[in-house]
Structure 1
Amino acid sequence: MKKKLTTKFIETRKPDPAKRVDYRDTVVPGLVLRVNKSGTKTFSFHKRINSKMKRLTIGQFGPFSLNDARERARQIHYEVETGRFEQNTGIEIEAKPTLGDVIPDYIEKHAKVHNRDWKRKKALLEKFSTLHGMRIDQIKRADVVKACDTIHKSAPVSANRALAHLKHLMGWCVERGMIEANPIAGMKPRAKEQPRERVLSDDELGVLWAVCDAEGYPFGDCMKLLILSGQRRAEVAEMMWSELDLEKRLWTLPSQRAKNGRQHTVPITDAMLDVLSRVPRFLGSDFVFTTTGKSPISGFGRVKKRLEKALPEGTDPWIIHDLRRTMSTNMAQLGVPQPVTEALLNHKTGVVSGVAAIYNVYSYADEKRKALEQWNERIKKITAPAHDQQVERRNHA
């Protein structure tokens, strides 16, 4: 759209999350302000050169003021009109896209196809906002280091994740011929991460179970299945009735829903069946845990806060993923072999690989069922009323 650009107008432009928007300056013909979906604002010059419309990147708003951009646009226009453009300007006629241009393309063509958590990937790539206005072929290692240092100040772990995603994006650009080489290949993460070791105690599990009882459907019941099965949060939250064979007591997680892209089978124990048997079914919906019938539940942050309020003051911080480590640790104490635990958790190191995996979908089927039953029996003892626990202790005295 045509618009007399002003500094105030540019500063107050909000991005449209659905599309990028171009504003054509009415003061200097050919000058265009592009507001990308990511929020970056870039000046460029549009003009027909040798019978073809060209877009020439000038620079990002901020480093380039409106006056700078207009002056540069006038210079390019003069050089084009006088035939001096290709010899003197130093700007390529076929301008390369900026990082801000590439990110939406990468998300649409790659991340949405291959990554279930593509929204998280998009959010992390958008943290490189200082680089969004730079041409993809002009981004240097030093530019990325500086951007990572900025992100690291407020979110050290996010800086590592963002760097990993940017490395992959740059590799994708190499494959598609946008750049010749990945400028950040081999670049090490800025922050050193400590592996999580949090394991919930029996008392903490007992409190959480009681709160889940009070919470009920859908979040309370979903959390119970997370504790009992040890599966990933998204995999349980997005569980579908069509994946469950209640007669054979088997939950088959399809490859497209599993984090590692492999079909996974989880035995359904008596305790898990007890939870599922009380879950209401929405007419015409395949989702087990839903409030609308049209989509699975989300927003675990709210229910987690309610769970944390029930725990004693001073309890160490925990995340839902720690429930998997808690089950794994307890299984080791129960004498379950590590390969069986790994297979039950659907870790890549714990499943049969290669050609054998195709013919061994039910790998460790009996062992997984026995191990899960042992763990669920332990949960039953942990969550039993205090009177029942006292009777059991007297019986073993």
Structure 2
Amino acid sequence: MAKALTVRSVEAEKPGPSRREIPDGHMPGLFLIIQPTGGKSWAVRYRHGARTRKLTIGAFPAFGLADARKAAGDALRAVAEGRDPALEKSLQKAEQADESNLVKNVLGRYDREYLQKHNRPNTIAAARSVFRNRLRPAWGNRLISSITRADVKAIRSQISAEGLPAAEIRTLAVMSKFFAWCADKELIEVSPMIGVKPESKAKPRKRFLSDAEIRLFWLACGKVGWPAGDLGRLLLLTGQRREEVSAAAWAEIDLEKRIWLIPDHRAKNGEEHEVPLSQAVVDLLKALPTVDGKKTYVISTGASYFQTYSRAKTLLETAMVEIAREEAAERGEDPQGVTIAPWTFHDLRRTLSTGLHELGIAPHIVEAILNHVSGHRAGVAGTYNRATYAHEKGRALKIWADHVLHVAEGRALPHNVEPIRAVS
């Protein structure tokens, strides 16, 4: 009967003229292999079906005696479960050799084969942001098949700890689509997203600009100028989404008919959306510069459309504060005490919606302007009600533009329009 190996005996074993295998009497199937060159390694032998199999564990001293016994025990338990650990290791090595199964490369394939072909530009940008900032740094060099629910929950908890509920929900949604695609392509057996829910709940934003803030915003847009200032004014006057405005092409706009037609592939709800243009918007569009003589995109600083939203918002916020502080100083007040509550470009849509409701515009007309599928346009009602309310939308947006110019520049209102809030 073989003797149990000890740490000292393993270290003391010397090489011979030929390869030797020394069994461990403590762990059946475990062998210390000694090469004529003096190299030592561990292996475990077992039977799988009618065949004798060998699983190489690793080299000594990287794998000590205790490590080797544990690995051998794990392998023999796998055999007892009907598995073949040597075959599993071989397949894993083959998978690792194929770098296409690394997460960073699978993300690239998903981007090319699915993301770009089936999503709008803003959805693509949001997903790529998650890939770039979350998934590649954490998992880029790991096999896609190695990602577990625990890994997903770790990213979820990290974002939750950062106090970013909206980002947490958005990241989980992006990962859910990605892993569902991986499962469909048989890159993984089951999505690790199953049963994973957000830890946080995003609170709906209620922020909108007051008339005093609308005035400061409008003046700031004029101070900053093209392109950020023009983008800001178009967002405020039309109430459309940030990416819909920034990526607007001249081919979508008919200045003579005063119509902007957002194609279905650029609209969030996938439905073509007609936006009537007020005279204020037409005047703004006609005054926009071209880039290198080209007029592809309405707001552009080069070959593509304007996308530097963060910098644009910073410029406008800074200009708003500067104007407010200058005016405070002129009134003899402390300019350093002037602050403006944080806002986002999306809050401009809420500002338009709130303003139109206060101006007496019917809710379903406001929803039509915003291209929301709700109320009169949701469910069965929406199936039968295909009205576009073109005339009503045009009238409402004219009333809104008149109001904005009244509070921002002091222009007189038409006789049939009353101011909705006092300008302070």
Residue in 2 that maps onto 1:150: 158
Note if contact 2:262-2:274 (Cα within 8 Å) is conserved in structure 1: yes
Task: Say yes or no: does 1:183 pair with 2:192.
Answer: yes
Deviations 1:250-274 (A, max 9, x none): 1101112222222110001111112
Partner SS state of residue 206, structure 2: coil
Report the counterpart of residue 295 of structure 2 in structure 1. 285
With normalisation by structure 1, the TM-score equals 0.69
CA RMSD in angstroms comes to 3.4
The answer to whether the 8 A contact 2:229-2:316 is kept is: no
Q: State the shift of 1:209 in Å.
A: 0.7
- Is 1:114–2:118 an aligned residue pair? yes
Contact 1:351–1:363 (Cα < 8 Å) also in 2: no
The Cα shift of 1:220 comes to 1.7
Report the AA paired with residue 152 of structure 2.
V
What are the superposed Cα offsets for residues 22-69 of structure 1, whole Å, 9 maximum, x if unpaired? xxxxxxxxxxxxxxxxxxxxxxxxxxxxxxxxxxxxxxxxxxxxx79x
Q: Which position in structure 2 is the counterpart of 1:247?
A: 256
2:362 maps to which residue?
Answer: 337
Please say if 1:208 is aligned against 2:214. Answer: no
1:149 counterpart letter in structure 2: S
1:193 aligns with 2:202: yes
Q: Which structure 2 residues correspond to residues 1-397 of structure 1 after superposition, within 5 A? A: 88=86, 90-91=88-89, 93=91, 95=95, 97-115=101-119, 116-117=121-122, 118-126=124-132, 127-128=134-135, 129-154=137-162, 156-157=164-165, 158-282=167-291, 283-292=293-302, 294-309=303-318, 310-311=320-321, 312=324, 313-349=338-374, 352=377, 363-385=388-410
Shift of 1:241: 1.6
Deviation at 1:170, TM superposition (A): 1.2
**Which fold has the larger relative contact order, with Cα–Cα distance below 8 Å and residues 6 or more apart in sequence?**
2
5+ long unaligned stretches in structure 2? 1-61, 72-83, 325-337
Tell me how far apart the structure 2 counterparts of residues 272 and 260 of structure 1 sit (CA, whole Å).
24
Residue 296 of structure 1 aligns with an amino acid whose one-letter code is Y
Partner secondary structure for residue 374 of structure 2: helix
Native 8 Å contact 1:238 1:296 kept in 2: yes
Cα separation, 2, equivalents of 1:253 and 1:232:
11
Tell me the matched-pair count. Answer: 312
Which residue is equivalent to 1:13? none
TM, length-normalised to structure 2: 0.65
> Structure 1 CA distance, aligned partners of 2:225 and 2:408?
16
- Secondary structure of 1:90's counterpart equals helix
Distance of 1:130 and 1:291 partners within structure 2:
34
Shift of 1:361: 7.4
Structure 1: segments with no counterpart, 5+ residues: 1-66, 76-85
Distance 1:155 1:125 in 2: 20
Aligned AA (2:138): T
Aligned AA (1:194): K
| 8 A Cα contact 1:125 1:162, kept in partner | no
Structure number with bigger Rg:
2
2:157·2:199 contact (CA, 8 Å) conserved in 1?
Answer: yes
Divergent runs of 4+, >6 A: 353-362
Give the match's secondary structure for 2:274.
strand
Q: Secondary structure at the match of 2:205?
A: coil
2:275 match: secondary structure: strand
* Alpha-carbon offset, residue 349 of structure 1: 2.4
Q: Retained in 2: the 8 A contact 1:264–1:361?
A: no
Structure 1 residues 198 and 172, CA, compared in 2 at 3 Å: closer, same or farther?
A: same
Q: CA deviation at 1:360?
A: 8.2
- Cα deviation, residue 375, structure 1: 1.2
* Cα distance, 1:290 vs structure 2: 2.0
Cα gap change, 1:87 to 1:327, in 2 (>3 Å): closer
Q: CA deviation at 1:135?
A: 3.3
Q: Once the two structures are aligned, what percentage of the paired residues are identical?
A: 34
Q: Is the 8 A contact 1:148 1:190 kept in 2?
A: yes
Q: Is the contact between residue 152 and residue 192 of structure 2 (CA under 8 Å) also seen in structure 1? A: no
SS of 2:261's equivalent?
strand
